[in-house]
Amino acid sequence: MKNVLIISCVFPPEPVVSAQISKDLANELIRLGFGVTVLAPVPSRPLGYNFPEEVKFPAYCEQNLPNVQIIHVKSAVSPASSFWGRAKESYSFGMAVVSYLKTHHAKYSKVYINSWPLISQYLIARECVRNNLRYIMHVQDIYPESLTNKLPSIFRYPVNNLLMPLEKFHLKHAQKVIAISEGMKSYFIKSRKLSSENISVVYNWQDDEEFKADFGDAPSSNKFTFMYLGNIGPVAGVDTLIRSFCKANVRDCRLIIAGNGVDKAACIELAAKSPDADILFIDVLYGNVAKAQNQADVLLLPVIKGGALSSIPSKLPGYMLSKKPILATLDRESDTAKAILAAGCGWVGDAEDEAWLTEQIETVSLIKKEELPSLGMNGYDYCMANFSKRVNLAKLLKELLIHGSRYGNKTLKGV
């Protein structure tokens, strides 16, 4: 039996989209007759999420990942967004995987890597090369730019120069780089001087089967319901939603913010300053995304300026699968904005444009509810053709089976 090693920095029961992707890949490989080992940290994402007993290990794995060997390596975790915490987490996970590879690399014919940037990606890639293992690298965000863009301009150039060699190493030696959007692929070709043949686009997906259940009539409230569901972090711009909703002062409407993240407490505090606004914060248990989104009339997708240029937010496919219209504020030239407009499933404004969003909330709240399903269905059809699990899992599997195999006698120099 051929054995595949999946190295994944997040893995179920963590309710993170890239964790679900690693799980789906593992199960599909098992179905095809491969042996599969998963290396992952102890579940910790997102910050503040309490794993219910029914999805904790080992019962969850026995039910959802039969015949998959899952090894939780001993490494530091940092669900809170802290520079040094995340750096330690990346280094720690990378070294834990390296330690495993030193003694077990001969077992595997194919390697898939979805790891923390940048340190762990470099360490794992270097060890694969040393042991003549080909790998494909699945990139979820562009580093070091995602880090250095947050720094004062005086620090950006030296930090980029320090970290860029790590980035270029793991990309250069990958048999295939998997990007999650056309924008990311174009950026890598231009900035990393990579060949277009070495990069493939595979969109992140959510399991469309979860969205086919009958949840009854929706929404559960008589009020017109706007909803944001996802990570409440710095890139999301949930504070923009709250301020705009409060300024709109729309009657018989409510805003539900579902999820967790480092900015949740601050957003709750912000919402409390407008007690007359009907704003509700809820947690969503693993596997209940579709049920939660069924409460919404319109789903909200805010992203801060520059945040959507290189990737498609993983919540977009989930929103579309819920057959709900989408009200978004993000970079208009982004793949996400283009997808919403191409699908004809909602409205798009500029990133962080509170005035436009306030006005649009007022306008959308007056739309008759019977007119909304056709917009939502447009998004669903577009998603099934472009962002579905069926389409993109097949692409990812093909790249792994073709490119992610052992070097044989070929060696790489400069390691």
Q: What is the pLDDT of residues 177-193, one digit of tens each?
A: 999 988 899 999 999 99
Sign of the CA dihedral with 342 first, then 240, 179, and 100 last? negative
**What's the confidence (pLDDT) of residue 409?**
36
H helix runs in 211-330, sequence order: 238-248, 264-272, 289-293, 315-321
Residue 56 has pLDDT above 70, yes or no: no
Percent of the chain with pLDDT over 90: 67
Tell me how crowded residue 322 is: count the other CB atoms within 10 A of its CB: 28
Q: What is the pTM of this model?
A: 0.79
Domains of the chain plus CATH, in order, are 3-205+389-403 (3.40.50.2000), 213-386 (3.40.50.2000)
What residues have CB less than 8 Å from 402, skipping those under 6 apart? 176
Q: What is the pLDDT of residues 61-101, one digit of tens each?
A: 778 888 999 999 999 999 887 889 999 999 999 999 999 99
Q: Give the model's confidence band at 114: pLDDT under 50 very low, under 70 low, under 90 confident, else very high.
A: very high
Q: What is the pLDDT of residues 359-396, one digit of tens each?
A: 999 999 999 988 999 999 999 999 999 999 999 999 99
What residues have CB less than 8 Å from 124, skipping those under 6 apart? 7, 94, 97, 98, 101, 113, 115, 135, 170
CA distance 79 to 41: 12
**What's the confidence (pLDDT) of residue 408?**
39
Structure tokens at 156: 């950006």
CA distance 144 to 151: 11
Strand order in the sheet with 253-258: 279-282, 253-258, 224-229, 298-302, 326-329, 346-349
Q: What is the pLDDT of residues 116-127, one digit of tens each?
A: 999 999 999 999
CA distance 164 to 166: 5
CA distance 312 to 412: 34
